[in-house]
Amino acid sequence: MKIGVVRESHEGEARVALTPQSAEQIAKLGHECMVEAGAGSRADISDDLYRAAGVEVVETAADVFDRCDVVAKVRPPTEDEVERLREGQTLISFFYPAENEELMKRASEKGATLIAMDMVPRISRAQKMDALSSMANIAGYRAVIESANNFGRFLTGQITAAGKVPPAKVLVVGAGVAGLAAIGTATSLGAITYAFDVRPEVAEQVQSMGAEFVFLDFEGEQGAGEGGYAAPSSPEFREAQLAKFRELAPDIDIVITTALIPNREAPELWTEDMVKAMKPGSVIVDLAAEKGGNCKLTVKDQRIVTDNGVVIIGYTDFPSRMAKQSSTLYATNIRHMLTDLTPGKDGQINHNMDDDVIRGATITHKNDVTWPPPKPKQA
């Protein structure tokens, strides 16, 4: 089959869904790869590098859509891209079906199969395809780097001839994939790192990374939900959490917030009075900005400075800001998806809807909308 990748049409998106390395692996499955000219340029991958890996470089996105059996991209397709799909063709990308129901319906009317990388079930067998985690890992790392770049002091403590420098204090709120990556990065840069999550089971993991878990003085239901995700907190729990954050705010230099509950707006956890209590020069990076933000004052996609000199960063494109790294990981996730779709390694796609992972990620197939999927069995 022919597998094609287009240049991302979303303004400012620098990632690409194919790398020369992933193309070589995809060729071993019996497929041929094609890429739109310039698709990798913003991730430092030239057309010549693709050609050297045996990839055909074509002039336009239309060539890719017209000639390929499977089209892969990063961002959800635009209306125009969905209109280009045809019966029997497969499109693999992030899709966020709950937010793009019309596009999903249109693709199913056209008889195209959509595989949403954001719907890959978070079970162990599917980890190699878990593109959300790949991107969250990068976002967590980059959030700390961005905060350090906006912070006027060292993160590590130093004793120098010119005086003693105290280490920075970093608080990470939410210790999921992005949060753990942020904790690892902050501790490795020498910051004193604190972390909080509503799921107390992550405390050990946080401590093993050299950070201190912030425990609440609270008896009763916490916020652990199903499948390793959080459930909304009770009002009493939330109050206890906010009281703890209020106590920490004057002393913390950098706050990285990553708190997320699936299919909801981000919980507001860092309030205006907490921002006001922080020292001038402190930095907040709000990774939940896309979903409304964990900090009350976050402005999506912007860096603002408050009246009391606190920098608040609400960028939602951290993976794209590290396009080479994120393209490498995303292209590998796509390659693993194609491996599972090509069990015979014979260049033939076998779309097995009895496979939990393929079923979970498939949102349209054979003129049907197949989202939401049935609950996956644990593997």
DSSP state of 129: G
Q: Which of these is catalytic: 96, 229, 303, 348? A: 229
Stretch near ligand NAD under the rule CB under 6 A, chosen from 84-92, 223-231, 247-255, 364-372? 223-231
* Chosen residue from 33, 72, 126, 259 binding ligand NAD by CB under 6 A: 259
Residue 105 near residue 129 (C-beta atoms within 8 A): no
Alpha-carbon distance values, 222 to 17, 134, 206 (Å): 39, 28, 17
> Can residue 184 be called a binding residue for ligand NAD (CB under 6 A)?
no
Nearer to ligand NAD, 97 or 176 (CB): 176
Kindly write down the DSSP assignment for every residue of 81-122, as one continuous string.
HHHH--TT-EEEE---GGG-HHHHHHHHHTT-EEEEGGGS--
| Nearest C-alpha neighbor of 112 from the set 311, 355, 379, 364 | 364
Site track 266-285 with ligand NAD (rule: CB under 6 A), x = hit = -x-x----------------
Site track 286-325 with ligand NAD (rule: CB under 6 A), x = hit = -xxxxx-----------------------xxxxx------
Sign (positive/negative) of CA torsion 24, 27, 31, 32? positive
Q: Which of these is catalytic: 46, 127, 207, 378? A: 127
356 is catalytic: no
7 is catalytic: no
21 is catalytic: no
Site track 32-71 with ligand NAD (rule: CB under 6 A), x = hit = ----------------------------------------
What separation, in Å, do the N-terminal and C-terminal C-alpha atoms of the chain show? 30
> How far apart are CB 30 and ligand NAD at their closest, in Å?
33
Residue 173 near residue 270 (C-beta atoms within 8 A): yes
Which residue has 């596009």 as its token pair?
103
Residues in touch with ligand NAD (CB under 6 A) = 132-133, 135-136, 139, 173-179, 196-199, 223, 229-230, 233, 258-261, 267, 269, 287-291, 315-319
